[in-house]
């Protein structure tokens, strides 16, 4: 492969067709939109301005982020709010050449404040349907349980979702990881799988590799969200490679939440070179300094990824998605074509 010139990486990342599989819709709430919603809903924020809020985006760990994230989510009240939030994200993704997204939402964050589950679901679903019709971007919703709350509450959340289960593709597990092992949710995940939902779970972000094993063995997850701490257990790395368990890695998030000291210290390249099915994602882009393309570009720079790595990462996003096999095959071929077209634009003498 030709030597990678740094200045063509942003153009390559833009040209590649991409999927995003680890994205919390509440984490796309930009300060400007948060203030607009606070105003129209009559909700008071303790920050005086957009700038003051942004200045608070300096986190020590996952918990310090979650405290602010849940606080700001309190501006989300109506179906329209959830629609507008998702519509803004999907518009950005279409502009970045993202073709498929799988979106986490945390019903408990909202129902605990008196917001109806249907308002959340209907707002998000409407935005997804509009984006597919207008921009051809497909999307799925992943109902995520808050692991720092009880298993009983998670079960009640699942039961409340049963009448509209056709709108949900999967269940997930997020929020404060340490001290909240996957096994706590074994019964609710068993019920969700019995209802036909796929299971995924955050594991090995701040929590130990044992939580990754537990998510696989007790929750029967189809992929692991984050999973970067697997490296501490070589046998687990071997298992993830052999079983090709997808890891939805979020590089900028990991640096902002101090899982790694810097992007240059991130283990994404090592995991990729070890043969794991690694994908790049943004997690909570409004809080962590960049959406999907920025995660690709900054990770490439910090870890000196090859162009071939970027193509592999883009393809892994579709391979690891919940799309049916035929749709995956179409997207995978389209990524290869996009790269070929990109090479021609960079070198007009190259034969297509």
Task: Determine whether 79 is an active site residue.
Answer: no
Q: Looking at residues 169 to 198 of the shown chain, list those that interact with ligand ADE (rule: CB under 6 A).
A: 174-175
| C-beta nearest to ligand ADE: residue | 174
Q: Which of 30, 81, 205, 214 binds ligand ADE (CB under 6 A)?
A: 205
Q: Decide if residue 20 touches ligand ADE (CB under 6 A).
A: no
Q: Looking at residues 33 to 92 of the shown chain, list those that interact with ligand ADE (rule: CB under 6 A).
A: 62
Q: Looking at residues 267 to 306 of the shown chain, list those that interact with Zn ion (rule: CB under 5 A).
A: 283
Q: Report residue 281: phi and psi, to 5°.
A: -145, 170
247-249/198-203 β-pairing: unpaired
Least Cα distance to 271 among 280, 259, 284 occurs for 280
List CB contacts of 249: < 8 A, sequence separation 6 or more.
22, 226, 227, 228, 268, 271, 278, 279, 280, 281
Cα separations in angstroms, 4 against 1, 107, 292, 305, 346: 8, 44, 20, 9, 12
HSE toward the beta carbon, residue 286, CA cutoff 13 A: 24
Strand spans (E) along the chain: 18-24, 98-105, 138-146, 170-174, 198-203, 223-226, 247-249, 278-280
Q: Decide if residue 102 touches ligand ADE (CB under 6 A).
A: no
Report, in Å, the least distance between residue 127 CB and ligand ADE.
Answer: 19
CB of 227 or CB of 323, closer to ligand ADE: 227
Report, in Å, the least distance between residue 227 CB and ligand ADE.
Answer: 12
Q: Indicate which residue of 20, 205, 214, 307 is catalytic.
A: 205
Report, in Å, the least distance between residue 65 CB and ligand ADE.
Answer: 7
Report, in Å, the least distance between residue 22 CB and Zn ion.
Answer: 6
Burial 94-128 (b: 16+ CB within 10 A, else e): bebbbbbbbbbbbbbbbbeeebebebbbbbbbbbb
Q: Which of 102, 283, 307, 309 binds ligand ADE (CB under 6 A)?
A: 283
Report, in Å, the least distance between residue 133 CB and ligand ADE.
Answer: 28
CB of 100 or CB of 202, closer to ligand ADE: 202
Active site positions, annotated: 205
Chain residues that interact with Zn ion, rule: CB under 5 A: 283
Chain residues that interact with ligand ADE, rule: CB under 6 A: 24, 27, 62, 174-175, 202, 205, 253, 283-284
């Amino acid at each position: 492969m030709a030597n990678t010139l740094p200045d063509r990486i942003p153009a390559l990342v833009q040209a590649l067709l991409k999927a995003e599989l680890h994205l919390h819709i509440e984490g796309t709430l930009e300060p400007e939109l948060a203030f607009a919603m606070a105003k129209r809903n009559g909700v008071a924020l303790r920050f005086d301005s957009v700038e003051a809020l942004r200045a608070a985006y300096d986190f020590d760990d996952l918990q310090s982020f979650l405290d602010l994230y849940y606080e700001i989510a309190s501006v989300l009240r109506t179906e329209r709010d959830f629609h507008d939030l998702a519509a803004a994200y999907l518009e950005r993704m279409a502009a970045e050449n993202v073709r498929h997204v799988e979106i986490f939402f945390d019903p408990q964050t909202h129902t605990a404040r008196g917001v109806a589950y249907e308002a959340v679901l209907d707002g998000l679903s409407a935005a997804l349907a509009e984006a597919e019709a207008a921009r051809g971007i497909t999307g799925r919703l992943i109902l995520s349980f808050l692991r720092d709350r009880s298993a009983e509450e998670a079960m009640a959340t699942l039961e409340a979702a049963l009448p509209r289960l056709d709108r949900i593709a999967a269940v997930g597990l997020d929020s404060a990881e340490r001290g909240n092992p996957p096994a706590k949710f074994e019964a609710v995940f068993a019920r969700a799988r019995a209802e036909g939902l796929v299971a995924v779970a955050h594991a090995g972000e701040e929590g130990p590799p044992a939580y990754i094993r537990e998510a696989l063995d007790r929750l029967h997850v189809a992929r692991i969200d984050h999973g970067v701490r697997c490296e501490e257990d070589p046998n687990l790395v071997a298992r993830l490679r052999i079983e090709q368990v997808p890891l939805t890695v979020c590089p900028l998030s990991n640096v902002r939440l101090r899982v790694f000291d810097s992007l240059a210290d991130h283990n994404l390249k090592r995991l990729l070179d070890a043969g794991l099915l690694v994908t790049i994602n943004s997690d909570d882009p409004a809080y962590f300094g960049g959406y999907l393309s920025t995660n690709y570009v900054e990770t490439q720079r910090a870890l000196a990824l090859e162009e071939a790595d970027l193509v592999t990462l883009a393809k892994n996003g579709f391979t690891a998605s919940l799309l049916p096999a035929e749709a995956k095959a179409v997207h995978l071929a389209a990524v290869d074509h996009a790269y070929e077209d990109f090479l021609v634009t960079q070198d007009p003498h190259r034969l297509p």
